[in-house]
Every structure is written in structure tokens, then in C-alpha cells.
Amino acid sequence: MAAPASSAPVPASSAAALPHSGAPKVERPLPASVLSGPPCQEALTSDQLKQIFGMVPQGKPDTLPGIGPECDWSNIDAGAGLGIYYATQPRQGLSGLYQNTKPRSKLWRELSPIQGFPAVASSSVSAGDKNGFCQVSVGITDESSVDVSLTPSDAKLAAGVDPCVLSERVAGMVVTNLKRKAGA
């Protein structure tokens, strides 16, 4: 999976007040501690992974410098891939995306809130590109987000499925699990 678009650095001068750059405020944030665990174990359940992939692939954990912990899953045979990133650094939340990613995205869609949390879909490829990829970022706090980057299976792409719709659905699953972890 490609690194999430939120990896672009935010200049220190803009780090003062959150949110900024047009990003919405997270009205009812979850505790930051919900992003303290490993995404491979906590972001999705085995049942959810089976629903997404038709199987339960092994997650590959990593930490992206300047972003935070991540987990990548794939079904090589189907051509599908999924990355979930807990974007906890540099503590800019959706503001960093609005400032750094929005200007250079080929696709930028402000989404309806996901379970009350602001969300945006973005992609470095044009809508309808046969290499369909979409990242949905959900503001969990004003300082952090969960980024879901998804490439649908070859069969789903051939059927014309919108990768952003799938990414949004998976982001909803992750938010449900984070809320459960928070006791909400």
C-alpha cells in the first residue's frame, strides 16, 4: 500500500491552533488512548477482514515515521489491498490533510460524518482510474485521525465499484471498533 497522504509535513508555524486550513472540528473526540494499540490487532476483527477480503489475511505491522503505526493487509490473488494508519504525528489531525493533501489531490471529497466524526476521501489517482485507490481519513480528535487506504479487488474494479465507497465502509468498521475500545 502507498503511504497515506497525511505524511506530508506541516510547517511549525501552522501548528498553533487546530483545526485550521478549513478542516472541521471534531466535536465529540474519542480519547487519544484508542489509537495507542497496534492497528493489526485492534482496527478490524477477523470477521470484518473476512467480510472485506473473503479470507483473513495476515496483517503486516509497521510504523511510518512522522505519521504513526500502520497495518497492511492484502489478498494478492484478488489484487486487493488495505492499509490502516493511526495518524498520531505530527498531531495535526485532518488539518494536516486539508493543508497538505487537498491542494495536490486528484480526488477530494468531504464525506458525511462517519458515526459523528468528520471524514474526507482523497486520492492521488483520478476518479475512475483502473488502478482505483482511495484513502478515507476520519478525525478522531482534532490532533489525530485514522486513515483507511484501500485498493479494491480486480473483479470489483472491473465491475465499476467506487473505491471510496468501500474505504468509507471500512472506515466505519474501524470507528465502531475504536468507539467500543473507548467504552462509547
pTM: 0.88
Who contacts 160 (Cβ-Cβ below 8 Å, separation ≥6)?
none
State the cell numbers at 20: 485550521
- Structural domains in the chain? 41-182 (3.40.1000)
pLDDT given for residue 126 in this prediction: 64
Among candidate residues 183, 177, 17, 23, the one with its CA nearest the CA of residue 100? 23
pLDDT band at 133 (very low <50, low <70, confident <90, very high): confident
- Is residue 77 exposed (0-12), middle (13-18) or buried (19+ Cβ within 10 Å)? exposed
Who contacts 126 (Cβ-Cβ below 8 Å, separation ≥6)?
106, 107
> Is the pLDDT at 60 greater than 60, yes or no?
yes
Give the number of other CB atoms < 10 A from CB of residue 42.
Answer: 20
Q: What's the rounded Cα separation, in Å, for the pair 10 and 172?
A: 27
pLDDT given for residue 179 in this prediction: 98
> Is the pLDDT at 111 greater than 80, yes or no?
yes
Residues 91/126/169/158 CA torsion (nearest 10 deg) = -150
pLDDT band at 7 (very low <50, low <70, confident <90, very high): very low
Across 75-102, average pLDDT:
93
Q: What's the rounded Cα separation, in Å, for the pair 53 and 23?
A: 32
Across 56-60, average pLDDT:
96
Q: Is the peptide bond before 90 cis (omega within 30 degrees of 0)?
A: yes
Q: What's the rounded Cα separation, in Å, for the pair 156 and 108?
A: 21
Q: What's the rounded Cα separation, in Å, for the pair 5 and 102?
A: 9
3-state secondary structure at position 102 = helix
Share of the chain above pLDDT 90, in %: 74
For residues 152 and 163, the answer to whether their CB atoms sit within 8 Å is: yes
How far from each other are the two terminal CA atoms of the chain, in whole angstroms? Answer: 31
List strand residue ranges (DSSP E) for 88-165, in order: 107-114, 117-123, 134-139, 145-151
pLDDT given for residue 184 in this prediction: 75
pLDDT given for residue 177 in this prediction: 98
Across 61-84, average pLDDT:
94
pLDDT averaged over every residue in the chain: 89
